[in-house]
Amino acid sequence: MVTIKTTYLGDLSTENIHVQSGAKIITDAPCDNRGKGQSFSPTDLLATSLGNCIMTIMGIHAMDHGIDMVGTQLEITKIMASDPRRVAEVVVEFFFPKKNYTDKEKQLIESVAGKSPVPLSLHSDLIQTIKFNW
């Protein structure tokens, strides 16, 4: 079954429809690559996918152990390289709410970071830096 249907809108923008839900994402090329920077670029979505996949697998693991992660925030920094133009590093920084997590709970949550589908699918040359702020 098709997962996503994409239409090129012109001017380096696309509309992407998630077939199951109907949710839409518009992309635009970044300003430094002839785009207008009016939406996520494809490489922004790669970085977003990495951070959100890690957050999701951590959330699953937390639920399985009765740990409340609600309110956890994430900051994602994408670092580009040139020649060839590519994502060289993604910094994923977690900010957990002040909920007096035990050392065991912190270790359980941190133990699954980088062990979910997106981090495991990316090329080994892409540096994945994961930081935790408790």
Peptide bond preceding 84 in cis form (omega within 30 of 0) = yes
Are residues 59 and 45 part of one domain? yes
pLDDT in tens, 12-37: 999 999 999 999 999 999 999 999 99
What are 103-119's pLDDT values in tens digits? Answer: 999 999 999 998 999 99
Task: Determine the structural domain holding residue 19 and report its residue range.
Answer: 1-40
For the entire predicted model, the pTM comes to: 0.92
> 72 vs 20, 55, 95, 117, 133, CA distance in Å?
27, 9, 6, 20, 10
On whether both 48 and 96 belong to a single domain, the answer is yes
Pairing of strands 127-133, 4-10: unpaired
- Count of domains forming the chain: 2
Query: Which band of pLDDT confidence, cut at 50, 70 and 90, is reported for residue 130?
Result: very high
User: Is the domain of 128 the same as that of 94?
Assistant: yes
Please answer whether residues 27 and 13 qualify as being in contact, where contact means their C-beta atoms are separated by less than 8 angstroms.
yes
Q: Say yes or no: 32 and 48 in one domain.
A: no
* Mean pLDDT, rounded, for 78-83: 95
Question: Which band of pLDDT confidence, cut at 50, 70 and 90, is reported for residue 100?
Answer: very high
- 57 shares its domain with 104: yes
Q: Which residue has the tokens 């002040």?
A: 98
